[in-house]
Chain A
C-alpha cells in the first residue's frame, strides 16, 4: 500500500548546527504536505506546510523542500536550539469524502546536544 515514511528514527545534532529531517512518500496523488513537531507531553503542533505546486517554502528558521520527482520531503531547521528537541512528523493530505485525511509518517526524534 501507499505510505509516508521517514528515513531516520533519531537525529542528534549540535546546538547551533543546521538539522535536516527527511521523509519519503509514495502517494503521487497527494498534493499537500505538512510538518508537525511534538514535544514531550504535548500534542503535535503545526510547523510548516507546502503544496505540490511548490518546491520550497520558508518559515522562521525552518524550510521545507519538496522533490516530487523522487517523492521526497525534507525539513531544514537553521541554527538548531535546545527547544527544537522533539519528534517531528511529516504528513501528506489525501482528500477523501468531505474532509482532510492526513497520513503520518512514523516520526523522527531530534536531539539537540548543548
Chain B
C-alpha cells in the first residue's frame, strides 16, 4: 500500500515563526500536493508539484511556499506564521496523470494539525 507520511501530527507555533511541514511518500509518485482542511470548507489546494523542483500554485497559495528537492519529499513552508493559518494540513500524492482512474487517485497522509498562537 502507498504510504504518505507527515512528520508531525500536532504542531504549536507562535505568530511570525517560520514553519516547515514535511511530507514523504514511498511509492515513487510524480505528483504531490498540499491541502488545508477547515471545517465546512472542505480541502483547499495550496500548492502542488508534478516533478522534482517543479511547483504550481493552487487555490490559496498566499502566505505559503513549497520545496521539492527529491521526488519522495514535498515540504510546505510558512514564511511567517499567522493565526489565520491555524488549520489541518494534508499532504497527498498520486501517479502522473495519464487518463486512467488509478492514476488520478490521491493518497493522503494523516494530517498535521497546526496551531498558531
Instruction: Spell out A's residues near B (CB within 8 Å).
Output: 4, 9, 32, 34, 36, 41-46, 49, 51, 89, 91, 93, 95, 97-102, 104-107
Q: Using Cβ atoms and an 8 Å threshold, which residues of chain A touch B40?
A: 9, 106-107
- Is B4 interfacial (CB 8 A cutoff)? yes
Task: Assess whether B110 is in contact with A41, with CB atoms less than 8 Å apart.
Answer: yes
Question: Smallest distance from the beta carbon of B60 to chain A beta carbons, Å?
Answer: 12
Choice from A42, A100, A107 contacting B104 with Cβ under 8 Å: A100
The CA-CA distance from A45 to B41 in the complex, in Å, is: 18
Question: Smallest distance from the beta carbon of A99 to chain B beta carbons, Å?
Answer: 4
8 interchain pairs, CB-CB under 8 A? A9-B40, A41-B110, A42-B110, A43-B4, A43-B110, A44-B90, A46-B105, A101-B58
- Excluding A44-B106, A95-B97, A100-B97, 8 further A-B contacts by CB distance (< 8 Å) are A89-B42, A99-B31, A99-B97, A101-B45, A102-B43, A104-B35, A104-B43, A105-B42
- Is B84 interfacial (CB 8 A cutoff)? no
Question: Smallest distance from the beta carbon of B113 to chain A beta carbons, Å?
Answer: 10
Q: Using Cβ atoms and an 8 Å threshold, which residues of chain B touch A9?
A: 40
Question: Smallest distance from the beta carbon of A111 to chain B beta carbons, Å?
Answer: 16
Task: Assess whether B101 is in contact with A51, with CB atoms less than 8 Å apart.
Answer: yes
Task: Assess whether A99 is in contact with B56, with CB atoms less than 8 Å apart.
Answer: yes
Instruction: Spell out B's residues near A (CB within 8 Å).
Output: 4, 31, 35, 40-45, 48, 50, 56, 58, 90, 92, 94, 96-97, 101, 104-111
Task: Assess whether A104 is in contact with B42, with CB atoms less than 8 Å apart.
Answer: yes
Task: Assess whether B108 is in contact with A32, with CB atoms less than 8 Å apart.
Answer: no
Closest to A48 in B: B101
Q: Using Cβ atoms and an 8 Å threshold, which residues of chain A touch B31?
A: 99-100
The CA-CA distance from A4 to B109 in the complex, in Å, is: 23
Task: Assess whether B101 is in contact with A101, with CB atoms less than 8 Å apart.
Answer: no
Q: Using Cβ atoms and an 8 Å threshold, which residues of chain B touch A42?
A: 110-111
Task: Assess whether B110 is in contact with A44, with CB atoms less than 8 Å apart.
Answer: no
Choice from A44, A46, A49, A99 contacting B43 with Cβ under 8 Å: A44
